[in-house]
Amino acid sequence: MNKWLKVGLILVPVILMSACGSTGAKKGAPVTGGATPPPADSARTSPLDSGSGAGITPLPQTGGMESQAGDPLNDPASPLAKRVIYFDYDSNNIRAEDRATIEAHAQYLAQRGNVKVTLEGHADERGSREYNIALGERRSNAVRDMMSLLGVSAAQVASVSYGEERPAVLGDDESAWRMNRRVEIVYAGQ
Amino acid sequence: MLVISAVSALVLGTNARAALTIEITKGVDSALPIAVVPFGVSGDPLLPVDVAEVVAADLKRSGRFAPLPRQDMLSRPSETAQVNFRDWRLVNVESLVIGRVNRAGAGYTVQFQLFDVFRGVQLAGYSVRSDADGLRRAAHQIADIIYETLTGEPGAFNTRIAYVTVAQLADGSRRYALEVSDADGYDPKAVVNSKQPLMSPSWSADGNRLAYVTFENKRSQIYTQNLLTGQRELLASFVGINGAPAWSPNGRELALTLSKDGNPEIYVMNVASKQLRRVTESLGIDTEPAWAPDGRTLYFTSDRGGSTQIYRVAATGGRPERVTFEGSYNARATVSADGKSLAMINRDNSGDHIAVLNLQSGALKVLTDGRFDESPSFAPNGRMIIYATRTANRRGVLAAVSVDGGVQQRFSAREGDAREPVWSPMRQ
């Protein structure tokens, strides 16, 4: 964690500079929308996509040595392949075993100021629906806050809670519930 | 008066759906024996609606009446002169309803009379006008008059319910709809369809508009929608949660939950000016505001004290006061029309149930025994509570229970899940 924190702090000024041409998140403005620039991810997509704003150049990727294989986002062996963080009942505490996953995503994002993610918070079906919306937001905000500490720009991360409305697994016992108490890290354009 | 049912066909996204059928799962022993004789028809004998059947079904569904089966009727009068009270005393009927439907221009006039069989006197007699499509509504109005005459309380048959349905498609995607039907489940119409979740419908006091939450733009937003015109208006689209809309009794304000300032708090929005007033301030979750009928108090769900409980606060803001103390989890309160009781989700070891809290005595009564009962909503006469429950095979269905727990109904026989029912106000 400390290592990534340092990396994050060093990268912050670079990100701020490279992000200045894009629109920042404003209160009251839609967080996601049709105009989200596609991520500079695969080899097939031009990283200088005209939709991504003025003069944003993606930073070199850390996984540069294996760049023939493409974006580490698409590497099933990469820690980035894990996109779901699970939570205990009525809790938004990030479990120790999930920290490395969030750190990997934070590092990836911190190095690519034009890549955006939506953190989708979810809850299990117990309790009222609007309370679960609030609980899902607590979870997505917990992941967002950790990413922010690791140097990810606020403009890159949107947080949305679906509460219990979009369960990953149907079922009315703990085996289903634990799969539904989650935050999904969704990369724009994926 | 019957314009609403005719115009509702214009509502946005309207399509015809299979009606919900209502099954009475528990009735009271003391149900009043009543006979609703098939109504006479003047002129055209082929009516689209069997008015007496709708009236009898309404009364039966309340659990407080036991309508006599037609095959047990010894005579079928439709005018006073044809009534022989002995025919009804013989089969132990205490109240008798007769009537006649007359063509009147493009519509109908429905006249009916209610008799006390043992005293042999008329208790009520009215003529109800209806347009061509309004016979069911006329029948509900008649049932309301009979109910009120015999019980002393207003009926709530001539009302509607709004609820959310979800269909799981073969490709794994879901289709959400916000539907409105008559209170007897008849004539359901989708007023909004979406591939993304729809949530938390709330009726305006005049029954002409719904506020609800949609995720159609991949984030929560609150819209209001006029049911007569289908016109929609975006009311809240702030960063974070836009949730739990609740229309104020005077129709001018909407209480809602916003997390734009960090965490979920209760706000009140002036519907016309969109001006916001923040009501709560805590580090915890504050959500699910519900208005007291005087419009001066808001009840809401909060975990500010550690466990999730119901609190109340002045609608202008101030220091909230905890209201529920029994149970580890109480949420989603709704207030009865007389302001004297709250219905809510109450949790015990066996799951989430619907409970009613008497605000004067503090007594809590658990009414249901499902594991996932939620979203209670009072009938406007305060007599029944509609809520969402689950069948044994996990299907979401609507159910209703009387506030004393004595009568239970289930709305069933349709595909997909139904949830989040809200009972409309009385029709004006």
Nearest C-alpha of chain B: how many angstroms from A31? 7
Contacting residues of B for A33, CB less than 8 Å apart: 217
Nearest C-alpha of chain B: how many angstroms from A103? 23
Q: What is the mean pLDDT of residues A84-104?
A: 96
For residue A132, pLDDT beyond 80? yes
Domain that holds residue A151: 1-9+68-190
**pLDDT > 90 in chain A, percent:** 56
**Choice among B54-58, B105-109, B162-166, B413-417 with the minimum mean pLDDT:** B413-417
Q: Which residue of chain B is at minimal alpha-carbon distance from A159? A: B240
Q: What is the mean pLDDT of chain A?
A: 75
CATH at A115: 3.30.1330.60
> What is the tens place of the pLDDT at every residue in B314-341?
999 999 999 999 999 999 999 999 999 9
Contacting residues of B for A172, CB less than 8 Å apart: 371-372, 390, 394
Q: Which residue of chain A is at minimal alpha-carbon distance from B332? A: A128
Cβ of A129 within 8 Å of Cβ of B301? The answer is no
**Choice among B80-89, B196-205, B397-406 with the minimum mean pLDDT:** B397-406
> What is the tens place of the pLDDT at every residue in B148-159?
999 999 999 999
For residue B171, pLDDT beyond 80? yes
Environment class of residue B97 by beta-carbon count within 10 Å: exposed (0-12), middle (13-18) or buried (19+)?
Answer: buried
For residue A155, pLDDT beyond 90? yes
Task: Using pLDDT thresholds of 50, 70 and 90, give the confidence band for residue A11.
Answer: very low
**Among the partner residues B197, B217, B347, nearest to A30 by beta-carbon distance:** B217
Q: What is the mean pLDDT of residues A118-122?
A: 98
- The more confidently predicted of residues B199 and B43 is B199
Q: What is the mean pLDDT of chain B?
A: 92
CATH 3.40.50.10070 domain position(s) in chain B:
31-151
Whether residue A176 lies within 8 A of chain B, CB to CB, comes out as no
Q: What is the mean pLDDT of residues A134-158?
A: 97
Compute the CA torsion angle B397, B402, B406, B411 (nearest 10 deg): -20
Cβ of B331 within 8 Å of Cβ of A137? The answer is no
- The more confidently predicted of residues B413 and B177 is B177
> What is the tens place of the pLDDT at every residue in A51-60?
333 334 444 4
**Among the partner residues A28, A32, A129, nearest to B200 by beta-carbon distance:** A129
Contact A110, A150 (CB under 8 A): yes
Cβ of A165 within 8 Å of Cβ of B199? The answer is yes
The reported pLDDT for the residue numbered B152 is 95
Contact A17, A165 (CB under 8 A): no
For residue B10, pLDDT beyond 50? no
CATH 2.120.10.30 domain position(s) in chain B:
160-423
Contact B115, B96 (CB under 8 A): yes
CATH of B31-151, picked from 2.130.10.10, 1.20.1050.10, 2.40.40.20, 3.40.50.10070, is 3.40.50.10070
The reported pLDDT for the residue numbered B168 is 87
Contact B223, B43 (CB under 8 A): no
- The more confidently predicted of residues A115 and A5 is A115
Whether residue A74 lies within 8 A of chain B, CB to CB, comes out as no
**Among the partner residues B237, B263, B331, nearest to A128 by beta-carbon distance:** B331
- The more confidently predicted of residues B91 and A29 is B91
The strand pair at B408-412 and B396-402 is best described as antiparallel
The reported pLDDT for the residue numbered B21 is 75
**Among the partner residues B241, B347, B352, nearest to A133 by beta-carbon distance:** B241
Answer yes or no: is A51 within a domain: no
Contacting residues of A for B388, CB less than 8 Å apart: none
What angle in degrees, to the nearest 10, is found between the helix axes of A99-110 and A2-19? 30
**Residue spans of beta strands (DSSP E) within chain A:** 84-86, 117-122, 157-163, 182-187
Task: Using pLDDT thresholds of 50, 70 and 90, give the confidence band for residue A70.
Answer: confident
Which ranges of B70-205 does DSSP label H, i.e. alpha helix? 85-89, 135-151
**Among the partner residues B217, B238, B264, nearest to A27 by beta-carbon distance:** B238
The CATH superfamily of B160-423 is TolB, C-terminal domain (2.120.10.30)
> What is the tens place of the pLDDT at every residue in B231-260?
999 999 999 999 999 999 999 999 999 999
The reported pLDDT for the residue numbered B158 is 96
Answer yes or no: is A55 within a domain: no
CA angle B371, B373, B374 (to 5 degrees): 140
Task: Using pLDDT thresholds of 50, 70 and 90, give the confidence band for residue B392.
Answer: confident
Answer yes or no: is A130 within a domain: yes
Answer yes or no: is A39 within a domain: no
Answer yes or no: is A114 within a domain: yes
The reported pLDDT for the residue numbered A3 is 44
B160-191 CB burial, b ≥16 within 10 A, e <16: bbbbbbbeeeeeeebebbbbbbbbbbbbbbbb
For residue B401, pLDDT beyond 80? yes
Domains: count for chain A: 1
